């Protein structure tokens, strides 16, 4: 049994070397002290960087990328993206993670492709219910909102509703669907909530299954909506929607 296990481990290791490149693991070790500049010198192309992580293209196989944490929050983000439950339950929305270090300093994940257009364009492409500018202008309480603002406001309220339960006619989210001036200047929360309930329910019928999956992910992992912008969303090779880079933290952090 021990020999069988050792042979299997050797097979897995050899398979990784073939898939990711024969020197990748050693290169990562060599660059532990100053990974960004060191990996670039070794030939790894820096695809981008954020506040917490840098992203490199693998030399051997460009279907994978390497994310390297640059501070403790980066490690936390790596650990969440590699989280078994997230990978199992939301594999349609996030890149697949193939390997990571024990301390989550780095992860190897599926290569996906950043959205090349604007915030308005990606929302129209994947969550089209939010892209009706005339609806925003005439049927909401915030008529000057951009398409992304409307998506942001509604989505944050949706997450709260998922967490706390739908209060139906008394839910705060309903107020978003009360056009300016339709109830007069002195209408209170209760009156606005009741007035907007039917319109909110009607709008929800326009939301596609992808959006509902997105809200499930956002509510379970406390996604920061300010991070769901064009530079952090994209597509797989088949054109399907995927979230490239999440600011997702446990409650309270």
148-205 tens-digit pLDDT: 999 999 999 999 999 999 888 889 899 999 998 887 666 777 888 899 999 999 999 9
Among 82, 111, 140, give the residue marking a domain's end: 111
Could you tell me the CATH number of the domain that includes residue 91? 3.30.200.20
Backbone angles phi, psi at 118, to 5 degrees: -90, 175
pLDDT given at position 251? 41
77-107 tens-digit pLDDT: 899 889 889 899 999 999 999 999 999 999 9
* 53 and 83 housed in the same domain: yes
* 123 and 235 housed in the same domain: yes
Distance of CA 111 to the CA centre of its chain: 15
* 103 and 26 housed in the same domain: yes
Q: Answer whether residue 249 shows pLDDT above 50.
A: no
* 201 and 132 housed in the same domain: yes
Asked whether residue 249 is assigned to any structural domain, the reply reads: no
* 225 and 126 housed in the same domain: yes
Q: What is the pTM of this model?
A: 0.81
* 100 and 174 housed in the same domain: no
Comparing CA positions, the residue from 66, 59, 72 lying closest to residue 97 is: 66
Asked whether residue 251 is assigned to any structural domain, the reply reads: no
Where residue 247 falls among pLDDT bands split at 50, 70, 90?
low
* 27 and 56 housed in the same domain: yes
pLDDT given at position 46? 95
Asked whether residue 193 is assigned to any structural domain, the reply reads: yes
Asked whether residue 85 is assigned to any structural domain, the reply reads: yes
Among 72, 94, 111, give the residue marking a domain's end: 111
Asked whether residue 253 is assigned to any structural domain, the reply reads: no
* 100 and 160 housed in the same domain: no
Dist. CA 114–CA 241, nearest whole Å = 10
Among 93, 111, 129, give the residue marking a domain's end: 111
Asked whether residue 203 is assigned to any structural domain, the reply reads: yes
Dist. CA 38–CA 206, nearest whole Å = 49
Domain that holds residue 100: 2-111
Long-range contacts of 171-176 (CB under 8 A, 24+ apart): 171/197, 171/200, 173/200, 174/199, 174/200, 175/141, 176/140, 176/141, 176/142, 176/200
- Number of folded domains that form the chain: 2
Q: Answer whether residue 112 shows pLDDT above 70.
A: yes
* 97 and 10 housed in the same domain: yes
Q: Answer whether residue 3 shows pLDDT above 70.
A: no
Asked whether residue 248 is assigned to any structural domain, the reply reads: no
* 56 and 167 housed in the same domain: no
* 126 and 204 housed in the same domain: yes
Residues in contact with 127: Cβ distance below 8 Å, sequence separation at least 6, in sequence order: 151, 207, 208, 210, 211, 214
């Amino acid at each position: 049994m021990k020999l069988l296990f050792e042979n299997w481990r050797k097979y897995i290791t050899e398979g990784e070397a073939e898939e990711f490149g024969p020197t990748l693991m050693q290169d990562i070790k060599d660059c532990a002290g100053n990974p960004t500049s060191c990996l670039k010198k070794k030939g790894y192309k820096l695809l981008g960087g954020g506040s917490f992580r840098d992203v490199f293209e693998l030399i051997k196989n460009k279907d994978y990328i390497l994310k390297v944490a640059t501070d403790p929050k980066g490690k936390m983000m790596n650990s969440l993206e590699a989280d078994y439950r997230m990978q199992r339950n939301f594999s349609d929305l996030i890149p697949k993670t193939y390997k990571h270090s024990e301390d989550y300093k780095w992860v190897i994940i599926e290569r996906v492709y950043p959205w090349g257009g604007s915030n308005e364009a990606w929302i129209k492409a994947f969550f089209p219910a939010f892209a009706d500018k005339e609806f925003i202008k005439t049927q909401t309480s915030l008529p000057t909102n951009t398409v992304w603002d409307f998506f942001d406001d509604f989505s944050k309220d949706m997450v709260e509703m998922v967490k706390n339960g739908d209060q139906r006619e008394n839910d705060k989210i309903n107020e978003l669907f009360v056009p300016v001036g339709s109830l007069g200047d002195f209408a209170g929360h209760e009156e606005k909530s009741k007035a907007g309930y039917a319109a909110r329910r009607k709008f929800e019928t326009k939301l596609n299954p992808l959006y509902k999956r997105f809200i499930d992910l956002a509510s379970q992992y406390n996604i920061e909506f300010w991070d769901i912008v064009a530079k952090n969303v994209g597509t797989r090779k088949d054109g399907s929607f995927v979230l490239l880079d999440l600011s997702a933290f446990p409650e309270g952090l």
